C-alpha cells in the first residue's frame, strides 16, 4: 500500500503515520510545510519514502508518474487556526488545495480520506448530527470552520460522499501537538501553567446558563483518533462524512481536574475573562452524534478522560512523541 499523508508532520497527521508504521506500512509520502516550526520533531523515528513541501507538491500533480506512487491519500493538511482572519488564505489553503487533491484522486481512481472539523457546526444550536441532509444548513462561527464546511458542501454537491471519507474531528488532544502554539489543547497549555505557576487558567463563562469552567466539549484523545482513521483506511467499502469524537461532552473543569490528578496535585483553577473577540465565536457545548459512525461498524473503545490525560502527561513529562 502506497500512502500520501498531507499534514504528515502535523499533530493528527504524524499520529496517523505512526499508526501506519506500526501496521508495517512504510511506503509513505509526507507532504507538509515545516518552515521555522518544530513540527520536524514529529517525524523523528517515523519511516517514510519521501517528504515534499506542500506548495511544491501541487506541481507534481501534473506528473503522470505520480499515480504509480500513490494508492491512498490521507489529507490531514490544513491551517487549523480558529482565530485566523485572512479568509483568502484560509480558503486557498483549506478549500482550494483540498479540491485539487480530490479532483486528482477522482481522475486517477485513488482513495481519498480527508479532515473536516466539528467547527463546521458553529454554535451547535442545530445539533451535531453528521447526517448529509443536515450539513447544508450548518453555520460555522469562524473562517476556519467555514473553509472546512465549504469543502464538505463541495463533496456533497458532487455526491462524492459515496467515494470519499471525511472526518469531522472534535476536540483532539495528545502527543505531537506542541508545535501548535495558541492552538494547542488545554491539556498541553495547562500542563505548562501548572508547572510554572501551580494553577491553571480557564475562561469564565459569559452566558448565564453555564457556570465558569462548566462549558462542555467532546474531548477525544489523539490515539483514539488515529485508530478510527485507520479503521476506515483498512475498510475501503466504508465511505461518507463522519463525526470523530467520543460522543460524550465533558466540562473544562473535569479536564483540569484530570490534569491535576495526573500530576498528583490538588486542583487550583483561576477563571479569566474571555477575550471580547472570541465571545461571539465560542462554542459552549460540543458533543459528537456517533449514530452514523456506529452504523459503519466501528466498535472502538475510547480512552476515559482521566486515563487519556494521564497517558498524555507521561509524554509531556518525558518530552517524548508518538
Cell of 186: 488545554
Set 180, 189, 204, 281: catalytic member:
180
pLDDT in tens, 168-204: 999 999 999 999 998 999 999 999 999 999 999 999 9
The verdict on whether 216 is a catalytic residue reads no
Contact 166, 155 (CB under 8 A): yes
Q: What is the pLDDT of residue 236?
A: 95
Residues 95, 121, 128, 144: which is the catalytic one? Answer: 144
Concerning whether 223 is annotated as a catalytic residue, the answer is: no
Confidence of residue 80 (pLDDT cuts 50, 70, 90): confident
Distance CA 235, CA 238 (A): 6
Residues 6+ apart with CB under 8 A from 218: 118, 128, 170, 171, 245, 246, 247, 248, 249, 250, 286, 287, 288
pLDDT for res 278: 87
Distance CA 195, CA 177 (A): 18
For 79, the grid coordinates are 491551517
Give CA–CA dist 149/122, Å, rounded.
10
The 10s digit of each residue's pLDDT in 82-140 is 888 899 999 999 999 999 999 999 999 999 999 999 999 999 988 999 999 999 999 99
CB 254, CB 262: distance < 8 Å: no
The percentage of the chain sitting over the pLDDT mark of 70, rounded to a whole number, equals 100
The sign of the CA dihedral 131, 6, 40, 34 is: negative
pLDDT of residue 36: 85
* Highest CATH level, class, for 3-173+219-247+287-302: alpha beta
Cα(31)–Cα(132) distance, integer angstroms: 29
| pLDDT the model gives residue 301 | 95
Strand partners, 111: 72
The alpha-helical segments, DSSP class H, found in the chain are 11-22, 54-60, 87-90, 97-107, 143-157, 186-197, 222-234, 252-262, 276-279, 291-295, 305-318
Summarize the confidence of residues 55-76 as an average pLDDT: 95
Task: Quickly count: other Cβ atoms within 10 Å of residue 195's Cβ.
Answer: 11
High-pLDDT (> 90) share of the chain, %:
91
Residue-range domain boundaries for the chain: 3-173+219-247+287-302
Amino acid at each position: 500500500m502506497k500512502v500520501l499523508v498531507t499534514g504528515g508532520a502535523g499533530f493528527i497527521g504524524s499520529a496517523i503515520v505512526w499508526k501506519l508504521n506500526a501496521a508495517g506500512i512504510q511506503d509513505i509520502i509526507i507532504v507538509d510545510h515545516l518552515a521555522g516550526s518544530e513540527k520536524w520533531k514529529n517525524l523523528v523515528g517515523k519511516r517514510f519514502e519521501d517528504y515534499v513541501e506542500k506548495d511544491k507538491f501541487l506541481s507534481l500533480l501534473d506528473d503522470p508518474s505520480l499515480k504509480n506512487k500513490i494508492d491512498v491519500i490521507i489529507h490531514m493538511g490544513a491551517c487549523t487556526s480558529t482565530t485566523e482572519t485572512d479568509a483568502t488564505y484560509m480558503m486557498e489553503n483549506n478549500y482550494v488545495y483540498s479540491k485539487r487533491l480530490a479532483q486528482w484522486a477522482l481522475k486517477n481512481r485513488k482513495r481519498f480520506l480527508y479532515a473536516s472539523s466539528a467547527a463546521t457546526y458553529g454554535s451547535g444550536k442545530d445539533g451535531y448530527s453528521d447526517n448529509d441532509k443536515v450539513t447544508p444548513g450548518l453555520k460555522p462561527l469562524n473562517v476556519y470552520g467555514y473553509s472546512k464546511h465549504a469543502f464538505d458542501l463541495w463533496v456533497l454537491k458532487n455526491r462524492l460522499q459515496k467515494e470519499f471519507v471525511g472526518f469531522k474531528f472534535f476536540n483532539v488532544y495528545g502527543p505531537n501537538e506542541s508545535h501548535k502554539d495558541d492552538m494547542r489543547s488545554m491539556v498541553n497549555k495547562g500542563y505548562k501553567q501548572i508547572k510554572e505557576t501551580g494553577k491553571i487558567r480557564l475562561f469564565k463563562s459569559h452566558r448565564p446558563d453555564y457556570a465558569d469552567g462548566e462549558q462542555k466539549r467532546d474531548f477525544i484523545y489523539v490515539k483514539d483518533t488515529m485508530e478510527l482513521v485507520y479503521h476506515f483506511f483498512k475498510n475501503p467499502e466504508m465511505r461518507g462524512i463522519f463525526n470523530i469524537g467520543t460522543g460524550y461532552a465533558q466540562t473544562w473543569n473535569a479536564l483540569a481536574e484530570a490534569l491535576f490528578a495526573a500530576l498528583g496535585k490538588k486542583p487550583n483553577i483561576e477563571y479569566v475573562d474571555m477575550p471580547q473577540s472570541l465571545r461571539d465565536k465560542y462554542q459552549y457545548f460540543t458533543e459528537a452524534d456517533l449514530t452514523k459512525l456506529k452504523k459503519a461498524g466501528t466498535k472502538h473503545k475510547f480512552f476515559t478522560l482521566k486515563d487519556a490525560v494521564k497517558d498524555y502527561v507521561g509524554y509531556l513529562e518525558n518530552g517524548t512523541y508518538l
